Each structure stands twice: as C-alpha cells, then as structure tokens.
Amino acid sequence: MACTITDSQEAASELAKRFDRARRAVFFGGAGVSTASGIPDFRSADGLYHQHFAYPPEEMLSHGFFISHTEEFFDFYRERMICLTARPNRAHARLAELEREGHLAAVVTQNIDGLHQMAGSRVVHELHGSVHRNVCQRCGETYSAEWVLESEGVPRCEKCGGLVKPDVVLYGESLDERVLIASVQAIAQADLLVIGGTSLVVYPAAGLVDYFGGSEVVVVNRDPTPADSRADLVCACDIAAAFDF
C-alpha cells in the first residue's frame, strides 16, 4: 500500500531521494502543474469546468464546435486558453534542473502552455499540442500565440487567407502519432515515473501511465487519482512546494 504524505516539505525530501537514485526518471504532468503560474486547471472546485459560459467548456473545446461555431471558439480560446503573462513556477524550474543534472529523461505533459520549455526543459512531449503553434489549414504557414491573440474574429492566413487553427488537440481529435509514440517509449523505458498535477481522467493521455514497467511510481496531486493504488508514494500536497528541493 502506498505511503501518503500531506506535508509539502516532507514530500520534497522524499522526491529528492527518489530522483537521486533514479537512472531514468520521467515526469507525467497535467493542468495542476501550472496553477501556481496563474493558469486555472479544469476539474478542481475553481477550475474551468465549474465556471459558467454560454456553452459548456468541453463543448467549446471540441472539434465539432470549432467547425460549427468557429468565431465563438476563438472568442473563448483567446480569453481562456492563451495566457502569455504566465511564467514557470518552482515545479517547472526544478524539472528543468533535474534534466540538466541528468536525473530526468523526459517530461510528458497534457498542458498546452509551453511553460516547461520556458523553464528550460528540452525533452518535452506535448500530448495535447501547444498554444504557441498555430497552423494555416490550407498552406501550412505557422503563427505565434501573440499573432492569434492580436487577430480579430476568425484568424486568417496572411499568405493565402486560409483558416489558422491552433495546434492543440480538441475533444474529438486524435493525438499526434509521433508524440504519442515518443511518450510511450519514454514512459516504458523509465525506472521512476512521477505523476503530477493531473486527475488522470482524460483519455487516451491518462492511459499512457499503464506502459510504465519500472520500479517506482510517485503521485504528486492534491486530490486522489486512479494511480494512487499502484503508487509507491502519494504526495497529497501542492506540487510547486513539493518540487522545492
């Protein structure tokens, strides 16, 4: 049965020990990693899915809504999904340091905010894409998040007039096969899997942790997750504080 820790300082001490002895650790993270950076998560009490909009957020972030209500999609996307003022917090920074120190092989993230790369992480597998990549659906020209944020209505390519779509995976869309394969390989080859800031309820991404065959699983999340029962250590505390080591 997993050992459960609720004190963030104790969690930080235990995480430090496990990263020190790991030869190939992988971090699998979700929206909770970025809440300390000012980006709200989805399913907590204050999360996006508990706020009131004209349409449910799950619907507005779907492929069908993007096709049928494109302008409304971009209104919501600009207001709620792009947060260019956000900066990496201690969890992002420590993960980047662990990679440079040779303790962390890869980050597999469900987030689309790009904060892991901003913190300095180099091997980052973005399962759900990134707000920082936006692609013309006609000619393939790419645009930045800043460009989309400054555009009005439905963004159109400056070269060909085609629709510019964020390179993010919407509900009803498939994960990028190359990113999926790289993520599975990273998790399968790891000897330590640290799962942090995710409720593990969004599939197929959440199912990737089942490919882990290494020696130790650690969960760092305020609320219970389906992985707690198989974890060797559960840190039920703030993730940014838990990575302050």
Cβ-based burial of 91 (10 A; exposed 0-12, middle 13-18, buried ≥19): buried
Provide the residue type at 89 as one letter. N
Q: Which two tokens stand for residue 123?
A: 């091997």
CB distance 163 to 136 below 8 Å: yes
Q: Which two tokens stand for residue 129?
A: 């894409």
The residue behind tokens 């956000």 is 86
* Cβ-proximal residues to 140 (8 Å cutoff; 6+ apart), any chain: none
Which residue out of 92, 103, 125, 128 is catalytically annotated? 128
CB distance 214 to 193 below 8 Å: yes
- Known catalytic membership, residue 128: yes
Which residues carry out catalysis?
128
